[in-house]
Amino acid sequence: MPNLETEPAPSGTIAVPPEEALPVDQPTSGHQGSEPSAPEGTDGRITAAEFESWDATGSIEIDRYCVHCGYNLRMQPVRTEPRTQLLSVRCPECSRFMSAHESITTLSLWARRLAPLAFSLWVCAVLFAYFMMSLGSGGLVAASLDEFTNYGMSRIVTNQGVTYMTSSGGPRTVASDPPAYFLVVGLSVAAEAALGFAIAMLATVVFPHWRRWGYYIWVCLPACVGVGLLSWMWCYDIAPHLSRWGLTYILNYEAVFLLFGLLGCFWSRPLARLMARIFLTARLRGVFGYLWAADGLEAPSTRPSMK
């Protein structure tokens, strides 16, 4: 070992005596981490006595709550951890330590309590919208079937000589000349297409983390259920003798719904991004940045354009 006492220190440096040199495996700074230092003789935990020995810098003067148990930390002392100089507080209820800036306020505490309820209401709202759009699709088909068919009619003449037509209770027949046929068909088809696209947009916007096959199931499920229920009602209850005509009519309408629903699986999210760019400010568009991230695109800037 060289003799440190006889070797002069290089110019511009300070010689460190051997007894003051730090071991190689010891940290040279007291700020290597944010965790409070553990007292000697413990298993790494801070004891209440150790915490009480730290310098008190004040107390919590407002309602702030423990992040672990929710205990109100008002009037609890705030002490400075000597190694990291962090302001710390100890919860007397659960005996845990935390940063004085880590405790939560009344608003955030109630937000945590109401978060499960809000999430449940959100899920119920999405499922309700899904159910109503599916029901609307089936209702359009049923209404148009009723519009283009009628029961057997009989002529009745009253004592005053007034003639009117009434249902004779006979089987349904296809209307030979339904009023405004092309208008009713056009509006019904357009409504089916809009519902199919909207139900796909609901899934792609609300559930951007789904895989593509999840959207296919989401769209196909109401179409398949609608075909099954309407076909069963028409063929076994309403008009069994018009089963071929009714099945063709039902399948055509549900095919329109399914086609535009599958198109919506690909084009609804780009349409949602376009609507966000048109109707939302730059700052509000940042809330919907996940619409870009879901497709691997760069999220729009939240700063307004200076042009």
Per-residue pLDDT reduced to its tens digit, 228-251? 999 999 888 888 888 899 999 999
Percent of the chain residues past pLDDT 90, beyond the cut: 35
Per-residue pLDDT tens digits for 78-100: 887 777 777 778 788 787 777 66
Per-residue pLDDT tens digits for 33-89: 444 444 443 445 667 677 677 777 777 767 777 777 777 877 788 887 777 777 778
C-alpha distances out from residue 97 to 25, 74, 82, 92, Å: 28, 15, 15, 9
What is the average pLDDT value for the chain, to the nearest integer?
A: 77
Angle, CA 196 vertex, CA 191 and CA 197 arms, to 5°: 100
* Cα–Cα distance, 246 to 234 (Å, whole number): 7
What's at 2, amino acid-wise?
P
Question: Is the Cβ–Cβ distance between 92 and 76 less than 8 Å?
Answer: yes
pLDDT at 163: 53
Rg (CA), the chain: 37
Per-residue pLDDT tens digits for 106-157: 666 677 778 889 999 999 999 999 999 999 999 999 988 888 887 555 555 5
pLDDT at 43: 45
